[in-house]
C-alpha cells in the first residue's frame, strides 16, 4: 500500500474543504476503498474520513419521505423502523448484500459509490482495463463477461454497477406510451440476464416450407414454445403467495 495523509472531517463543509486537496478521496466504512488501495487498484494522496462528520441521520422529510444519511450504516438503514414499514423493498435489498459484518461497516454513500466488481478492474495482474488504466482496452469484451452489461454498454467498458441498494433506489424502466420506447434508455448500471445465464439452447426449425412467413420459407417454433412461460410463472407465484399479479415483470413489491 502506498503512503497517504489521513484527515478526519468535522462536518460536511469541512469534508468538502479537505476533499479539494489534490488526489483526495472520501473514506466511509472502507469496505470497498481500503481493499482496492491494498491491492493497488486505487491510490490516494489523502483520505478524508467522513465517519465523524455527523452525516449518519435518517430523518423524515416534510413531504413524508425519508432522508437517508450518506454515513448511515447499511444495517442501521435496513433495520430502521420507518424504512422497514414504508420501504420494505429497500430493507430486503440491503439485507441481500454482503454479510452482517460488512453491512455493519458499509454506509449508504459508500454503497452507491462503490466501484464495479468487474474482475479485470479489481486485479492489476490484468493489464487491460480502461476503467483502471484509461486507454489500455477492455479485457472483458472478449473475456469473462457473464455479469456484464449487454445494454447501455460502450466499446470502452461493459461493467455493471454492483450495488443492491442502488438497484432498489434507482432501477425502473419508464416507457413512453406513444412510441413504446424506454424513456430512461441508459441501462449501463442495470443487471439483466445475459446469454451465458441461459445455458444450452436447442434450435428446432419445423421441417416444412412456409411460403407466407418469410422469403426463406423457414418456420421456427420458438415463440409458440415460450408464450405460456410467463403465465405459468404467474400461476406458480399465485399458488405460492396467494397474490395474482397481472402485469409483468412480477417483482417483489407487487407481492407485498
Ligand atoms: C465480501 C463483500 C461482499 C459484498 N457484497 C455486496 C453485495 O452483495 N451487494 C452490494 O451492494 N455490495 C456488496 N459489497 C460491497 C459493499 O456494499 C460496499 O463495499 C460498501 O457498501 C461500501 O461502503 P463503505 O461505506 O465501506 O464505502 P468505502 O469503501 O469507504 O467507499 C467506497 C467509495 O465510495 C466513496 N464514498 C464513500 N462515501 C462517500 C460519500 N459520502 N460521498 C461521496 N463518495 C463517497 C469512497 O471515496 C470510495 O470511492 C460487498 C463487499 C464485500 C467486502
Ligand atoms: S468492463 Fe472492461 S473497462 Fe470496464 S471495468 Fe471491466 S475490464 Fe475494465
**169-227 pLDDT per residue, tens:** 766 667 788 887 767 655 454 445 556 666 676 777 788 888 887 788 887 776 667 77
Cell reading at 95: 439485507
Residuewise pLDDT in 10s, the chain (256 residues):
789 999 999 999 999 999 999 999 999 999 999 999 999 999 999 999 999 999 999 999 999 899 999 999 999 999 999 999 999 889 999 998 999 999 999 999 999 999 999 999 999 999 999 999 999 999 999 999 988 987 767 889 999 888 888 877 766 667 788 887 767 655 454 445 556 666 676 777 788 888 887 788 887 776 667 778 888 888 999 999 999 988 877 888 888 8
Nearest protein Cα to ligand 1, atom 14 = 98
CA of 119, closest atom in ligand 2: 6
Query: From CA 206, how far away is CA 87, in angstroms rounded?
Result: 49
Best mutation site among 41, 115, 134, 138 for ligand 2, i.e. most ligand atoms within 8 A of its Cβ? 138
Among candidate residues 3, 36, 22, 188, the one with its CA nearest the CA of residue 110:
36
108 in contact with ligand 1, CB cutoff 6 A = no
Within 13 Å and on the Cβ side, how many CA atoms surround 253? Answer: 15
Cα angle 57, 61, 67 (rounded to 5 degrees) comes to 40
Decide: 23 and 44 in contact? Cβ < 8 Å: yes
Query: Would you give the DSSP letter of residue 140?
Result: G
Query: From CA 103, how far away is CA 106, in angstroms rounded?
Result: 5
Cis, peptide link before residue 148, omega less than 30° from 0: no
Phi, psi of 47 (to 5 degrees): -105, 130
Decide: 194 and 148 in contact? Cβ < 8 Å: yes
83 in contact with ligand 2, CB cutoff 6 A = no
Please state the pTM of the whole predicted model.
Answer: 0.74
70 in contact with ligand 2, CB cutoff 6 A = no
Amino acid at each position: 500500500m502506498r503512503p497517504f495523509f489521513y484527515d478526519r472531517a468535522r462536518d460536511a463543509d469541512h469534508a468538502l474543504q479537505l476533499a479539494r486537496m489534490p488526489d483526495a478521496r472520501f473514506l466511509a466504512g472502507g469496505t470497498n476503498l481500503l481493499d482496492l488501495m491494498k491491492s493497488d487498484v486505487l491510490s490516494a494522496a489523502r483520505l478524508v474520513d467522513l465517519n465523524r462528520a455527523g452525516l449518519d441521520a435518517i430523518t423524515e422529510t416534510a413531504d413524508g419521505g425519508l432522508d437517508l444519511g450518506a454515513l448511515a450504516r447499511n444495517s442501521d438503514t435496513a433495520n430502521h423502523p420507518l424504512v422497514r414499514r414504508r420501504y420494505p423493498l429497500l430493507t430486503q435489498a440491503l439485507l441481500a448484500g454482503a454479510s452482517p459484518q460488512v453491512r455493519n461497516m458499509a454506509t449508504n454513500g459508500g454503497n452507491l459509490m462503490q466501484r464495479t466488481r468487474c474482475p479485470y478492474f479489481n486485479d492489476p495482474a490484468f493489464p487491460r482495463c480502461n476503467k483502471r488504466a484509461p486507454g489500455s482496452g477492455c479485457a472483458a469484451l472478449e473475456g469473462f463477461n457473464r455479469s456484464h452489461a449487454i445494454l447501455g454498454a460502450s466499446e470502452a467498458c461493459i461493467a455493471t454497477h454492483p450495488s443492491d441498494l442502488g438497484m432498489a433506489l434507482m432501477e425502473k424502466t419508464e416507457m413512453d406510451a406513444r412510441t413504446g420506447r424506454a424513456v430512461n434508455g441508459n441501462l449501463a448500471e442495470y443487471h439483466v440476464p445475459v446469454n451465458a445465464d441461459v445455458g444450452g439452447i436447442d434450435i428446432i426449425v419445423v421441417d416444412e416450407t412456409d411460403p407466407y412467413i418469410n422469403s426463406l420459407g423457414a418456420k421456427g417454433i420458438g415463440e409458440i414454445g415460450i408464450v405460456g412461460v410467463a403465465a405459468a410463472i404467474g400461476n406458480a407465484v399465485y399458488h405460492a403467495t396467494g397474490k395474482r399479479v397481472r402485469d409483468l415483470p412480477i417483482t417483489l413489491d407487487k407481492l407485498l
